[in-house]
Structure 1
Amino acid sequence: MTVYFIGAGPGAADLITVRGARLLATCPVCLYAGSLVPRELLESCPPDARLVDTQKLDLDRITAELVDADRAGQDVARLHSGDPSVFSAVAEQMRRLDAAGVPYEMVPGVPAFAAAAAALGRELTVPTVGQTVILTRLARQATAMPDGEDLATLGRSGALLVLHLAVRYADEAVAELLPHYGADCPAAVVAFASRPDEVVLRGTLAGIAEQVRRAGITRTAVIIVGRTLAAAEFRDSHLYSSERARD
């Protein structure tokens, strides 16, 4: 028996990986977050699969479901939105499964920031403009951030920032980043990336919070701030350069 932590992707049902879809079709038990995972994915589960919506379950009850499946010898598809390696809360689940002696595997998925970049039609790393992407979030009502990972500190790098769980606090994020990026720095917000109700906002750091308010976006969105979002004049990558030696 194995618990498979499967990245369900950012929202579009066809953005799950082939491996993830194959496992989903074979597992007799599926735990999923009903508010984030598209219902269409559940149609891939076996007809008699036990489907458990974890939206209103705490960690103890989720762990109990996984341990019970282990005792019954049933594989579990544990669907998480996006990719399980980023802001997925799988670490505490795996820690408890380790303690219970329950085996598990991680199956990567398409992360929200990648779907947002696709919606914007942008490469986030551009030669001579920006080669670093920082994925972070705001604490506020969630778990506190570690020392040194506040926006003021991270903003000093000037790297492209992708903020998760921050759209409700766009004004605060902008205030912390303005001294480091400047009012004219390109910024964007992508909500419900890859879904039919996807919303894309483009602008500058100075005005993006107002756009968020007008659009009424309060959840399931990422804020992206950085010069690569509007980069046009930059040197071609060395990867395809005619000056590069090719054997």
Structure 2
Amino acid sequence: MTEPIRLSKRMSELGLSSRREADEWIAKGWVRVDGKVVSELGSKVLPHQKITVERQAAAEQSKRVTVLINKPVGFVSGQAEDGYKPAVTLIKPENRWLEDDADEQFHPTQLRSLVPAGRLDIDSVGLLVLTQDGRIAKQLIGENTDIEKEYLVRVQYTRPGKLPDADLKKLNHGLWMDGKPLLPAKVRWQNDDQLSFTLKEGRKRQIRRMCDMVGLKVVGLKRVRIGRVKLGDLPQGQWRYLRPDEQF
């Protein structure tokens, strides 16, 4: 016997919406189960039941924007803390990249519920995604995400000689953090003092801590790619819209 599950959870599993969006749509009468409108929050469905949404829901979803920003040092990803400004404060017309060719027009309402899909440390720079779209947030930071994130990391070796190959192998696989093994990573030298890290997880200050374990000191860290979306030539402190043809 298959257990019934919450309609909003099932909609999220099917990729129709985020759970919060689903609850909004259910309350507005925009969701049908097997052709019948379901407007009671907390309603449950069986996995085989057919869920459809009204056109208004799709139209509302398509208005939700996703913004890419090249975050400078000194800005936090999310809420303001310790006197530091959040990256969202950079999203204003004068900071929009002149080469952004998206048709989207900036409007202050886009700043409402624009949340970071992932974090980037205050002393790191590079690609940060802010989105109003729950589906994108789930794709990038949901518990089952396997989206790659690529970083360029400038380092100094704090021990005599140079980093042994065995320690480079450890950075790729074999380190533990907070009592758990890290997922395999792709770490390789770009040049004498710069490594490329490609990760599928993002524990707090993970790259800096990994480097510390093998005697490397991080002197600069820049995120250059999330999934298939690259930072490219976007200047530091500027932003652009995610284009309709781009997918993480």
Give the TM-score, by structure 1 length: 0.24
Higher helix share: 1
Relative to its length, the structure with more strand (as a share) is 2
TM-score, structure 2 as length reference: 0.24
Bigger Rg over Cα: 2
